[in-house]
Structure 1
């Protein structure tokens, strides 16, 4: 069982001992630290925080603990109930709130949960704010409100609809073309809130959704990370239904992947590439993705006359770089699309609407669209960490071994070879080392990744 406290938030497994897992006491302590941080930002009478959750089994329990802790600090809570991460991000500025909390562990299995923390713009907190909250959680400086000054909870379960309204109002979302295309699409909602939000969006766009695992029970029917090896049922359903394509999202709906009409992966990395191709064709400009993302986005950006920039891994780093470079589209190769005309956050719903617009205007199949992009193949693997491993020393050794190649160390170690690249980094959210590789065939990418895993294990065992 695990509890990970980092500048990205607090994430852990439910049950077990305080301080070693995400227990009720840990949830309260961290929510209290966040509420205290919020109150320190501005001196005012009324503070407001938006709270929403995915459909995890532990979600209702953790949400009640978090909300009532904020109430105890004198903070008013807008309770969105079952929601999505991007929906909460959209709601914060619309509610003129001081921040937001999403209760979700993203792609982690059902025993995990987490508190994702937002600022007053509905964006993830930066490293400095995250560290301040970690310090407050262990400082004993939290002061709760007197009885006459307690906050209150107000329910507002309309925000998924409001979020969809905001998407449909975007100039690049071509609702008319999408409706004319008469798409039939299978949706795998992994029994979380994507099963609520994605079909609603599709229906509003005139698309016929075929629901697969769309009951928000929190009992994930397969590993919730939207990777090829987890999506056999969706691939089969697309073929059985003779659908135009399939959609899968992770439990909090900020990662998006597609299955083509032949029941094959479109490619998780190519979600952002396809959406960027459409956006850049209408609004030329710059793009950003993280260091672990495909070279294909760089190629597409160059085609449209823009400039591509790579950031450190992590949504907050991508967003910062997007603002610095005035990027019109960006995100992460894990299926995370960030479209600033709506908000600065990974958003599967806006990604779906832009992808549908692109497909409808081109009047082609999903497999035909995929063939128009550079053919890169990625391998994403990981090594489980043990407490005795000195990960920084391992990565330093790998850097030294490949010093003759192009090396980037702003986030782990990325080694650029002429025909492929490898990125080695310690995860911020799980006790693992991630090994990302991209090459010109899947066999080569997998072989290179396995070679580096063996090399890391050899270094670790010396």
Structure 2
């Protein structure tokens, strides 16, 4: 299968050949490199790392390998067990830890797993730090602790509750108004840790959760990427239960999407738009999302008197630009809400709380809320990479062909037309080229994507 090393972490399929897949040997090697790197960041007597995982079948195996490797380096571990990516991010500074690792392959299918690496702030490592760890992993410059200096593992399963406490303490989360509204919501937890965390949050808000696929056994009942084509069961259940809306998260709970009371997609791109609309109405300011996200966030931001800017794709890039621009809310159009008031990481829990606060204030149906936002349509397609395909050469050729249009090349190639745009880039997490488009209608967006898929095919054959 494949092993991908990038700023998003070390990601691969379980089993197979060392160096080509995420095998036990590879898990130990990269955990060792992270631990060695961590100890170069500051001189101290004791080091601590927070570790948590989603509910993937391979999660227990990989977590034990990673934790005991760090123990072998003399690093103490706070073991959160089944957790969420944002929960681990919140736990790192609360524990005064030196870093954190989340074992999750996010939206990838069950055969995948990954090591997502955090710094002492609970934020993802930047490209230079990631490159240094990869260099260490390929070297022999690793020295382990003696028997009297081994680290210790401490279990702490309270952090999902502590994370929820932090969310509910946010000034803009209208706890009393949400409780009075007595919402009924269907939750699709894709049989991972969202099935634990989201219902707990809702119950604290007096929201009645109808649980769908909330058993954290790692057997994903559908493709775990929260897209419309994967959510027919959620849509049907919302209608059947006469629920106010439906919630779906990905396996590690950093992406969030909604379906309305009719079972129709709110649009994962509009998760951030709605949350930003609410936050900006209370605290005007600037926003950031990545280049593959909808123009609707720009429109809503400008309506509230703020400025919008797009970053390269990747949470670490979004966060860097958010800090630079001092934004009040940002994230990614894939349903990732980053609310700096809590922490600099995509967080479905804070997204749910902000969305519920907005609904409680507006006192309107989710379908009615959606109509208040600019109506753009996106197409998200991909081309599977074949060995030897010169992706950089293909993108350079596209750049040459469309040199008279408005181009952005900080991350692949984005072409902004007057009424639409297309973004072509090589994925950080899968062996694919992503083709994202947005236009005034779904047909136009799909046609634009198909046009570029055809062009890329023709260039590849040339």
Q: TM-score, normalised by structure 2?
A: 1.00
Give the aligned partner of residue 397 of structure 2.
397
1:62 aligns with 2:66: no
Q: Alignment partner of 2:374: what SS?
A: coil
2-side partners of 1:228 and 1:457: how far apart?
Answer: 27
Deviation at 1:344, TM superposition (A): 0.1
Deviations 1:120-148 (A, max 9, x none): 00000000100000000001101000100
Give the aligned partner of residue 82 of structure 2.
82
Deviation at 1:44, TM superposition (A): 0.3
2-side partners of 1:137 and 1:456: how far apart?
Answer: 35
Equivalent residue runs for 1:7-406 within 5 Å: 7-406=7-406
Deviation at 1:7, TM superposition (A): 3.0
Give the aligned partner of residue 430 of structure 1.
430
Which structure 2 residue ranges, 5 or more long, are not aligned?
Answer: none
Q: Alpha carbon RMSD of aligned pairs, Å?
A: 0.4
Runs of 4+ residues deviating >3 angstroms = none
Q: How many residues align?
A: 462
2-side partners of 1:276 and 1:159: how far apart?
Answer: 26
1:444 aligns with 2:450: no
2-side partners of 1:7 and 1:166: how far apart?
Answer: 28
1-side partners of 2:197 and 2:461: how far apart?
Answer: 47
Q: Alignment partner of 2:328: what SS?
A: strand
Deviations 1:149-197 (A, max 9, x none): 0000000000000000000000000011101111000000000000000
1-side partners of 2:36 and 2:388: how far apart?
Answer: 35
Which structure 1 residue ranges, 5 or more long, are not aligned?
Answer: none
Deviation at 1:8, TM superposition (A): 2.4
1-side partners of 2:375 and 2:147: how far apart?
Answer: 62
Give the aligned partner of residue 417 of structure 1.
417
2-side partners of 1:83 and 1:263: how far apart?
Answer: 28
Deviation at 1:387, TM superposition (A): 1.3
2-side partners of 1:439 and 1:109: how far apart?
Answer: 29
2-side partners of 1:194 and 1:167: how far apart?
Answer: 15
2-side partners of 1:113 and 1:186: how far apart?
Answer: 27
Q: TM-score, normalised by structure 1?
A: 1.00
Q: Is the 8 A contact 1:7 1:134 kept in 2?
A: no
1-side partners of 2:192 and 2:458: how far apart?
Answer: 40
Give the aligned partner of residue 6 of structure 1.
6
Deviations 1:4-27 (A, max 9, x none): 112321100000010010000000
Deviations 1:362-413 (A, max 9, x none): 0000000000000000000000001110000000000111111100000000
